[in-house]
Each structure stands twice: as structure tokens, then as C-alpha cells.
Structure 1
Amino acid sequence: MAQNRRKKISRRMTQKRRRRMRILFGLAVLCAIVLTGASYLVLYRYVSKVPEHKICDNIYIGNVNVSGLTKKEARELMKEHLQEDMALKITMKVGDRSAEATLEELGLSYKDIGKVVDKAAGYGKKGRLFTRYRQIKGLKKEKLVLGEGFVLDAEKTKAVIDERVEGLADHAVDASIAKSGDGFEIIKEKKGKTVDEKASEEMIVDYLNDRWDHKGFKVKMAVKTEEPSIKAKDLESIKDELGSFSTDAGGGERWKNLKTGVDKINGTILMPGDELSVHDTTAPYDAEHGYVEAGSYENGQVVDSFGGGICQVSTTLYNAVLYSELEVLERYPHSMLVAYVDPSRDAAIAGDYLDLKFKNSYETPVYIAAEIDSANQMRFTIYGKDTRAEGRTVEYESETLTTEDYGVTYKENKEAELGSVQYSGSPHTGKTARLWKVVYQDGAEVSRDIINNSTYEKSDQIIEVGTLTDNAEAAELVRKAISSQDKAAIDAAIAEAKGLSAGESNGE
């Protein structure tokens, strides 16, 4: 019995202790809730001091302080700052040589400045309350710097490197060949260096985003080994003359242009499948590149222009190409007949729309030798490995299909004395023609094919008749006769008009 009573007493005491513990725990929880609520209120009041629509203090994008700005204001400020950055210069070095460009020329821009501004505006505004509090509190001690996210325009950067930097490298040198007596002299190739454009662009972008202090700067461009495209062993097969042609080089200023064009083409090597554009090889046509003003065709007239005569260079080469039986890709006749070759054997060059282009259709390299020799003959000779059948030869025959004689056109010249006659223009007969390729085997004709058809416009003789006089009646008399385009009527009107003028001067 006593034992049972002790058990009951012990059980009641345990229950009392448990009730006290629950009460104490409840009080502790209540206190914690009260304290937490107070802390939350304190934190909330702290973070709420920063206006929701403005960026927190001590936040930078790059070196630009955007604190207290709205997102719109921050974006506008960054655009203004970008304009300042774009005006700065970068010095690109290759070895001990260098070239400059503005960052605008390289196409400097932001990858996504709007996203960066959003990040700046959201700092201290998003996430759990304690996180926001910690972020804003931290800005009191240390500024937050966000990267601008600079990028370059790949095409603009490549254009600048190609134009200004690529030439600074010690590039590979192709093997070359020259005619020497009865044989050929081959000069061995050399390896070199070229600018690694992609790696250089990446290096500049990395610098802009990681270390740039928003001042002009220098960068050492990335380079890589460059192999020569033509090697000495490639040229060992060049032993035979494939074809040649010459025209008389004449003299005067025009001769200088022929010599300049010849020198630019001389020594050209075309590997199998390579193409040559005479325009691209010889242009630009200006004084800086060795050309002078000389006669050329323009709108049916002969006028002086830089590079006048370059068409004779392309024409002479065209015929050498025909005899070499290379593949002609593009060829155009002149607007009017030329004197140095038969119709349909010419090849005009004009602007970027008339060109002579051809391709090395052999399986081995060809070499173009060009010169104006001691007899003043402009000659092109094409060498290579002749794989044509022994005894096979080719000739080219020009056939005139139609002819149209030029006429005479009378024009008034108000600045010339009444009745005076001046000849101008460049009279040319019009023609249509075609060129035949005739193949012979051991002297016997085996084929005849049309190579091209050409049309040459006629160009009339221009005769300018003066009408300058104080006698309006006399001037009108000649003017009406000019409109008739009748020589007899014009001659008669001139005689009558001079009589009127003479009578007036005598007081009649």
C-alpha cells in the first residue's frame, strides 16, 4: 500500500513539472514572437527608407555612379558615357609597329545595358527581408560595381584590322619565278606571321570588361604563323611558253599608264583554279598609284582620264590568254573600235562594271611575264606546263559582220565667233564583229568555234558652228540652219549672216 501511494505522489509531481515546462515554453515562444515582430518591423522600416523606383546609394555601373537614379535616367546616363568611351583611341601593336583606331571604329557597344540597369535597380529591393537589409547595409561600407558588358562589332573590328593592322605583320612571302635567259630562276618562299583577328578581338573585349580604366590604351595583338601559299616546289613545273601577244606601246602620257599597268601584272602566278581580275590587279587609277591623265573612251568621245590606256593592257593580255587557252570568265568589247587590235580581239576596262577576268584551267601553276621591250612593244607571255597535244596550234580570226559609217552632227557654239567652225568629238565607224578560234593539228584545220560577238557603236564627227554676234537676226539665221543639219544650208546661212553683220557695222 505504501509503495502504491509513493507511486501516485511521484506521478502527480511529474505531471506538475510538465505543466510548468509547457507554461514556460509558451511564455518563451510568446516572447520570441514579440521580439521577432519588433525586429521585422525594424528591418522593414530600414529597407523602406530607399525609394522603390530609385537605385540604392553607392551603386556604380563601371565607373559611372548611378545612385539615386531611376532606371530611365541610368540608361540615358550610360548612353552618354558610351559616347565618351567611343571617342577614345586604342593603339594596336604588332612587334614594334602600331596603328590607331577609335573604339567607335571598332563598333564599341553594350551587350545589354538594360539588363545591367535592371540589376542595379533591383539590388536591395528583391528577395527576403534580411537579404535586402544585408545588401543595403553593406552599401554603407563598400560600393557595388557592376560591369557594363562591352562588346565589339565583329565586322567593323575585322575591317579595321584588315586595313590598318594586318600590314604591320611580317607576312609569309610566296615563292616567285622570273625568266632568266633560256630558263627560269625560282626564289624560295618564307614563312611569316599574320594577325589572329578572332583572338585579338576577344583579347580587346576581355581588357575592356576586366581592366579598362576608360582611357586610351595599347594592346599587343595576337599573331599566328602564316604559311606561304606558293612554294618553290610548286613552280618547278613551269617550263613552257603557253601563249604570248604584243601591241605597240606608242608614247606620250598614255605610255606611262601602259608601263604602270604592265608592272602591276608582271610576275603574277596563278595556281590551278586561281582567277585574275585585271581591274583589281591594276586599280585604283590615280596619281598616287602611278597613273596620269591620258585619252580614254567616255560616252562615245575620247576624254582625258587617269589610267587612260589601261584597256590596251587588258587587251594585250586577253590575246595572250586566248593563245594560252586559259578559261576566260569575263570580257567586254569597247564602246567604239580601237586601233591596236582587230574587232572582237579587245577587252575593255571601265569602273567596276567592265573587267577582264580569267582562270588558270591547267592542273599546274602558270606565270605571267609582262614588259615593254626595247622595240616599244608591250608583250605578255604566259608560261606553264604545256599538256596540249604535240602539233596542235590555235589561231584567232576576226570577222566583220556589219559596218555603219559615222555621220556629221552640227552643234551651236554660243561662245564662238559667228560663222566659225570647230571640229570636235571622235568620229568612229560602227561595226559588229565576231572572233573565231581555229584549231590546227599538224597544220590541218580540225575545228572552228565562235569565241565572242562584239558590237561597236558609231560616233559622229561633231562640228561646232559659232553664233556669237551682236546682230540677233544674223545669229538666229545661223541657228535655224544648224537645226536642219544640212551642210549647204548652214554654209549659205553663215554667208548671209556675215553679210548682215558686215552691213550693220558699216551703218547700212
Structure 2
Amino acid sequence: MKKTRPLIVALLLQLFITLGLGSVVAYGKTHDRAPAGLIVWGQDYSGMSRIQVSSQIKDRIPNSLLFQEQDYPLKMDRSYEEIDKWLDQVFQVPTGFWFTDIIQILSLPSKVIPSSDFGLNREDILAQLQALSAIINKPMVSAMITYSKGQLVKTDGQAGQEVDIERTWLKIASEHEQKQVALVVNNLPPQPDLADISRVEDIIGDYTTYFNSLDVPRTKNVRLAAMALNNQLIPPGQIFSFNDVVGERTEASGYLPALIFVNQTAIKGDGGGICQDSSTLYQAVRQAHLSIVERHTHTLPVSYVLKGQDATVSFGILDFRFRNDTQGYLLISARTGSNWLRIQLFGLADEQHPVLLKPAGYPSHPEEWNRDPK
């Protein structure tokens, strides 16, 4: 028994030496080396040094954008920092003790680390794309149509352009071969375009009412509201809101106190008189057979339309709204004269919204389409 002890000790010593030498060899071969199965974007980086992996991955990231033959550089410093943070998780961080480092290396499993485990700094790149869009974006200019001096005047629009930030980001994040990526820029066609407004040519509503021009505050209010309504273009299917277009009737907006109806009493309030605008518009809308969405009547009769044929409004409380249910755009022409307010509706006539045969009004109507009351 005594003779076997030295032999056992010798064998154990030899085993420890062998393990130690093997560990040293393993440490030398695997120190600062990527683990087996490190595959990023289809490329195997197993066994490469950290410097090699870092350099090659960063070299596969785009660093500029191309638009109309002009190059726009991207700053990728923060994205490089993200990659370095990820590499800290992949490579062994030295503990300062070679034996502990060896144990860590030997315990590292062989695994495939998907590229989804790390990525570019989205926030930083989106901020750069946002700044670039401020340079490249161009607003779309709509085609215009106005009624002036008895005729419709049409002006062509202009296309705009807008950087598609999300799609450009996705291209940058998914490109692993080219250093330059084409900037995604969307074309913004005019809306409406010249073809849309060219269809606006039929008179489907035309109504005129009259006011006392000696009532200066009320006359001014009627004119201000008419100016807000004039040349408003309503897309097909859209609901028109009188309050949204005319806005709040305040002294700051130029409106003066004039008589308004509150319950069964007439009192002075800012914007008094503009219900004549909404009521005249309502009459033209009725002629055009458009769908009424909201309408309210006064508590007392008014002088400018027949009883029950008015449309009272009060900002934030009562509105006059209708839908353009024609097949095209609808143009409002609202204009005033010495003592009259005339509102015409130009659009695309059809069976449900036929061409108006003659202008109407209360208590009288214009004699001709292109000639306003004197």
C-alpha cells in the first residue's frame, strides 16, 4: 500500500501538468477569438480576432445616401458603438487571471448568433434622415380654380417630393454589401390636379340675398364671411363645415357687434349678420341637391330668406354642414355688392345634381348668370 501512494501522486501530478499545458495551449489558441458559429449577415466569423470581426462588420454598413447623383454622407459613429457593445458580449472580457480566463473560454458554447441580436442605432439614423428631408422635401402645389369677372380661372399645380424616412431606414438596415444606398423619395402629385379642376364647369347652385348697407357693422360682417367662403374648393365626399372655414367671429378677426338672435330676443354680438351667409349658402346647396349633414333655424323669422329656409350658426355650438356627394370637386363663389350677397356652386353635374336652369334669390334674383345685381 505504501508503495502505491507515490505512484498515485505521480500520476495525479502528471495529469495536472497535462491539463495545465493543455489549458495554456487552449488559451493561446482561443484568446481574443470569435466563438465557433459566429455568423452575421450570412458570413462566418468563427475564430477571427475581435479587431477583424469589428472591422469587417463595420465595413459592411452603408455610410452614404444617393439622390439625383448627389452623395449625402451618414455619420455612423453611434452605430459603431452599438456594434462594439455587442462584441463585448460575444468576446471574452479578460478577468486579469489567466486561469479564470481559460475556464471562461472553455465554457463558451459553440453557437450561431443571429444578426437580429444587434443592430444599427435607429434613433441616430432617423434623426439624420429627418434633417436631410428638410433639405430635399418640396411641398406639393395644388391646381387652383377661382371665379373672377364672370369666368372660371384655372391654374395648373406642381408635384412635390418627400423623403420616405421609414423605407430609407429599412434599406440602410438591410444592406450589407454596398456602402451607398439610394435615398427613397416619394413623388407627391398635385391634389387636385389640372384634370380634376377642369371638370368643375357646371353651375349647380346659385342664390342671392339682400341686406341693408346702411347697417355698417352688419354689412362688414357679411362681407368678411363671404370673403372666407369665396373660392373654397371641396373634394368629392368631403363634409364642408361653415364654422371651420369662416372661423370664430371675434373682434381680433375684424368682426363687429351687430344684432343676433338669442332664444326669442335680438341682442348685439360679435359677427352678427353672418347667418345671412350661411343661409344663402344653404339655399345654393339645396338647389344643388347636396346632402345636408347639420342645419339649424333661427328662433325668430329673418328678412333675407323665407320663413324656415334659413341656417343659423354659432361658433362651437351650431354649425351648417353639408357633404359634396357629387363625382368631382365643388367650388364656392361668394361675393358681395352694394347691398347683395351672391353664392354660386360650380361642379360636375349629373342626374342627382343637374345643371341649374336659372339663378334664384330672395326677394329677387339676378337676370343673367354672368351679371350680378346692381
The TM-score with structure 2 as length reference comes to 0.52
1:337 aligns with 2:301: yes
Using the aligned pairs only, state the percent identity. 24
CA shift, 1:335, in A, is: 3.0
Q: For residues 91-102 of structure 1, what are the structure 2 equivalents within 5 Å?
A: none
Greater relative contact order (Cα < 8 A, sep 6+): 2
| Deviation per residue, 1:88-115 (Å, 9 max, x gap) | xxxxxxxxxxxxxxxxxxxxxxxxxxxx
Q: Specify the SS of the correspondent of 2:260.
A: strand
Q: In structure 1, what is the equivalent of residue 197 of structure 2?
A: 235
1:380 aligns with 2:366: no
Q: In structure 2, what is the equivalent of residue 371 of structure 1?
A: 335
Q: Does the CA contact (< 8 Å) of 2:334 and 2:344 recur in 1?
A: yes
Equivalent pairs counted in the alignment come to 250
Q: Does the CA contact (< 8 Å) of 2:301 and 2:308 recur in 1?
A: no
Q: In structure 1, what is the equivalent of residue 147 of structure 2?
A: 179
| Deviation per residue, 1:375-411 (Å, 9 max, x gap) | 32111011123334689789999xxxxxxxxxxxxxx
Q: Specify the SS of the correspondent of 1:26.
A: helix
Q: Which amino acid aligns with 1:248?
A: Y
**RMSD after superposition:** 4.9
Q: For residues 276-355 of structure 1, what are the structure 2 equivalents within 5 Å?
A: 276-355=240-319
The TM-score with structure 1 as length reference comes to 0.40
Q: For residues 94-113 of structure 1, what are the structure 2 equivalents within 5 Å?
A: none
- In terms of fraction of residues, the more strand-rich structure is 1
1:24 aligns with 2:24: no
When residues 170 and 352 of structure 1 are mapped into structure 2, their CA distance, relative to the original with a 3 A threshold, is farther
Q: For residues 94-493 of structure 1, what are the structure 2 equivalents within 5 Å?
A: 171-181=139-149, 183-193=151-161, 225-250=187-212, 251-373=215-337, 375-388=338-351
**Structure 1: how far apart are the matches of 2:270 and 2:162?**
34
CA shift, 1:306, in A, is: 2.8
When residues 350 and 199 of structure 1 are mapped into structure 2, their CA distance, relative to the original with a 3 A threshold, is farther
Q: Specify the SS of the correspondent of 2:226.
A: helix
| Deviation per residue, 1:56-83 (Å, 9 max, x gap) | xxxxxxxxxxxxxxxxxxxxxxxxxxxx
Q: Does the CA contact (< 8 Å) of 2:160 and 2:189 recur in 1?
A: yes
Q: Does the CA contact (< 8 Å) of 2:236 and 2:324 recur in 1?
A: yes
Structure number with bigger Rg:
1
Q: In structure 2, what is the equivalent of residue 484 of structure 1?
A: none
> Structure 1: which 5+ residue stretches go unaligned?
1-16, 34-128, 134-148, 152-160, 203-221, 398-508
**Structure 1: how far apart are the matches of 2:209 and 2:360?**
17
Q: Which amino acid aligns with 1:247?
A: T
> Structure 2: which 5+ residue stretches go unaligned?
20-99, 105-120, 124-129, 170-183, 363-374
Q: Which amino acid aligns with 1:177?
A: I
CA shift, 1:285, in A, is: 2.4
Q: Which amino acid aligns with 1:357?
A: R
**Structure 2: how far apart are the matches of 1:279 and 1:308?**
14
**Structure 2: how far apart are the matches of 1:303 and 1:223?**
57
When residues 310 and 393 of structure 1 are mapped into structure 2, their CA distance, relative to the original with a 3 A threshold, is closer
Q: Does the CA contact (< 8 Å) of 1:323 and 1:394 recur in 2?
A: no
**Structure 2: how far apart are the matches of 1:351 and 1:185?**
32
Q: Does the CA contact (< 8 Å) of 2:292 and 2:322 recur in 1?
A: yes
